[in-house]
């Protein structure tokens, strides 16, 4: 029996093909969305790692400067309004006077760290030397620094975090300081020994430039993913329509074939075929075979003469005048 399912019905092959096409588009949309989410995560991770690398470089630079200072047993600099004698440095030769009468004071690694930090502060970088046991009140750790120092005592090698509300967040990086022999002149009285972790240096700077970089990279990623999905969707629609049209044409051809393969009421004398639904006694309901086929298929009918008819009607043996 002929399938009477309408093209828009759920069970129709065209409807199924459209559903498959929608499912494929949905899968590609999901894949594009997941790719975008992964790209955004990667962008944020990379910028965070870049900030951590910046903090590490600053820390290592400060440590190298401190090592140079400690290697010389401290350095003498002129006493000025900004560089005053360090009251926490208790050594007999802290202050000296040159033969020319110029007053000098010794700057140890910790004091030099604070002086360098004052310079970096003008560029937005904050350098803070701190410890769980401080000599100088200004070196007291913040809540985050205290937590980091406690982790250092348990073996952690570094700490970093982004703190603050969006738009004004600060990136913090911190590593521990180990006690060296040159440190004992000031910190030996606190009970430290060579190799002990006696504190750390934190480096803080605005995270806004990194957030701006993240926002720009995310916008670019969104545009590229939308463009990619748009092109892919256009390709899918183009070929999807071709597939749907092909299925529709195939269904039409199958319907025509089923029509031609059915039981046809044919006149036994003139070979005309009665159209479907026509009354047997209606002369207009009977059509020639070639007209019936042409109306119901794309086939074209040509006319010729079979050998038997040719013999019967167009030769002396079987023609009208034969005999």
Among 254, 274, 256, 253, smallest CA distance to 264 is for: 274
What integer pLDDT is reported at residue 149 of this predicted model?
92
Contact by Cβ (8 Å): 161, 147: no
- Give backbone dihedrals phi and psi of 97, rounded to 5 degrees, phi first: -130, 135
* Full pLDDT tens readout for the chain, 323 residues: 344 444 555 556 767 777 888 888 888 899 999 999 999 999 999 999 999 999 999 999 999 998 898 888 889 999 998 899 988 888 888 999 998 889 999 998 888 988 998 889 988 999 998 888 777 778 889 999 999 999 998 888 999 999 998 888 999 999 998 766 555 555 555 555 655 677 899 999 999 999 999 999 999 999 999 999 899 888 888 887 777 777 777 777 666 666 555 667 888 778 788 887 788 888 888 888 887 777 766 677 777 788 887 777 777 765 554 44
How distant, in Å, are the alpha carbons of 108, 120, 235, 286 from that of 205?
25, 10, 48, 95
Among 211, 173, 172, residue whose Cα is nearest residue 60: 173
pLDDT for res 143: 93
* 260-268, long-range: CB < 8 A, 24+ apart: 260/293, 260/296, 260/297, 264/292
* pLDDT at 2 (0 to 100): 42
Instruction: State residue 18's pLDDT score.
Output: 76
Give the whole-angstrom CA distance, residue 186 versus residue 283: 125
Position 3 scores a pLDDT of: 46
Predicted local confidence at residue 291, as pLDDT = 79
Q: What is the pLDDT of residue 172?
A: 96
What digits encode the pLDDT tens for the residues 37-84?
A: 999 999 999 999 999 999 999 999 999 998 898 888 889 999 998 899
- In 3D space, the residue among 314, 295, 296 whose CA is nearest the CA of residue 304 turns out to be 314
CA-CA distance, 46 to 39, in Å (whole number)?
10
Q: How far apart are CA 263 and CA 1, in angstroms?
A: 12
Pairing of strands 103-107, 159-163: unpaired
Residue for token pair 């002990």: 196
Query: CB neighbours of 200 closer than 8 A, spacing ≥ 6?
Result: 129, 130, 131, 145, 148, 149, 152, 174, 175, 176, 177
266 and 273 in contact (C-beta within 8 Å)?
A: yes
Question: What interhelical angle do 208-261 and 289-296 show, nearest 10?
Answer: 170
């Amino acid at each position: 029996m002929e399938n009477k399912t309408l093209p828009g019905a759920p069970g129709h092959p065209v409807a199924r093909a459209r559903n498959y096409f929608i499912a494929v588009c949905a899968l590609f949309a999901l894949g594009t969305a997941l790719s975008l989410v992964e790209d955004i995560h990667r962008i944020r991770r990379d910028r965070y790692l870049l900030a951590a690398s910046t903090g590490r470089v600053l820390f290592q630079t400060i440590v190298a400067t401190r090592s140079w200072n400690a290697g010389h047993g401290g350095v003498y600099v002129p006493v000025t309004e900004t560089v005053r004698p360090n009251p926490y440095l208790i050594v007999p030769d802290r202050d000296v006077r040159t033969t020319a009468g110029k007053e000098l004071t010794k700057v140890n690694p910790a004091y030099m760290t604070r002086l360098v930090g004052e310079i970096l502060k003008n560029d937005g970088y904050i350098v803070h030397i701190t410890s769980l046991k401080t000599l100088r009140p200004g070196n007291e750790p913040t809540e985050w620094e205290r937590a980091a120092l406690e982790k250092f005592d348990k073996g952690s090698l570094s700490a970093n975090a982004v703190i603050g509300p969006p738009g004004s967040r600060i990136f913090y990086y911190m590593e521990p300081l180990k006690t060296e022999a040159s440190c004992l002149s000031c910190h030996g009285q606190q009970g430290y020994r060579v190799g002990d972790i006696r504190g750390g240096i934190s480096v803080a700077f605005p995270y806004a430039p990194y957030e701006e970089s993240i926002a720009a990279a995310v916008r670019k990623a969104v545009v590229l993913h939308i463009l990619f999905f748009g092109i892919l969707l256009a390709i899918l629609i183009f070929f999807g329509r071709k597939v749907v049209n092909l299925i529709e044409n195939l269904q039409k051809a199958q319907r025509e074939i089923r029509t031609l393969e059915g039981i046809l009421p044919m006149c036994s004398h003139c070979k005309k075929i009665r159209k479907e639904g026509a009354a047997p006694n209606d002369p207009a309901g009977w059509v020639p075979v070639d007209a019936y086929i042409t109306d119901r298929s794309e086939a074209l009918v040509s006319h010729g003469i079979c050998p038997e008819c040719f013999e019967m009607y167009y030769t002396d043996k079987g023609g009208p005048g034969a005999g």
